[in-house]
Amino acid sequence: MPTTAPTIGKDIDSWCTRCKMVLAHTIETVANGRVTRVHCNTCGGQHAYRASAPGTGTGSRARASRANGARAAAKPPRDYATLLRGRDPATARAYALNERFKDGELIKHPTFGLGVVTVLRDGNKIEVMFADGSNKTLIHRR
């Protein structure tokens, strides 16, 4: 499957140095076909492009630790259809920044539609899986 070259102005997932999470960013600079600078769509911070969190890359240290059996326990994959099985979408709560959500709760987002909370992060962030298979990090408890 052919991949398209990165284009300035397109969105890409990157590690945000300010938010300390992999979030959606907008590409600012491309050099030699590689993304070099981005800005975070959540906090607006500008920084070098980082495809993953520090320490999770595929460098020699990461390969060595995996070779030594220091793998993290993998979570079982969760897909949208499985998460919705046996649940009534009419019970979904409307998403709002000031609401509190629990793991596994159904939410109705005004832009992304029906989603399921899959992870609680940092006390005020949640990861939500939506029908298109995307996982979005959203703010709650503000």
- What is the predicted pLDDT for the residue at 105? 93
pLDDT at 25: 92
135: exposed, middle or buried (Cβ count in 10 Å: 0-12, 13-18, 19+): middle
Q: Which burial class, exposed, middle or buried, applies to 12 when counting CB atoms under 10 A from its CB (0-12, 13-18, 19+)? A: middle
Give the per-residue pLDDT at 57: 62
Per-residue pLDDT of the chain (142 residues; tens, 9 = 90+): 456 778 888 999 998 988 888 889 999 998 888 999 999 998 988 999 988 888 776 544 444 444 444 444 445 556 888 888 888 999 999 999 899 999 899 999 999 999 999 988 887 899 999 988 888 999 988 7
Q: Exposed, middle or buried, 86 (CB in 10 Å: 0-12/13-18/19+)?
A: exposed
Interatomic CA distance for residues 46 and 8, integer angstroms: 14
CA distances to 5, 21, 46, 49, 80 from 39, in Å: 18, 13, 4, 9, 29
Per-residue confidence (pLDDT) for residue 2, from 0 to 100 = 53
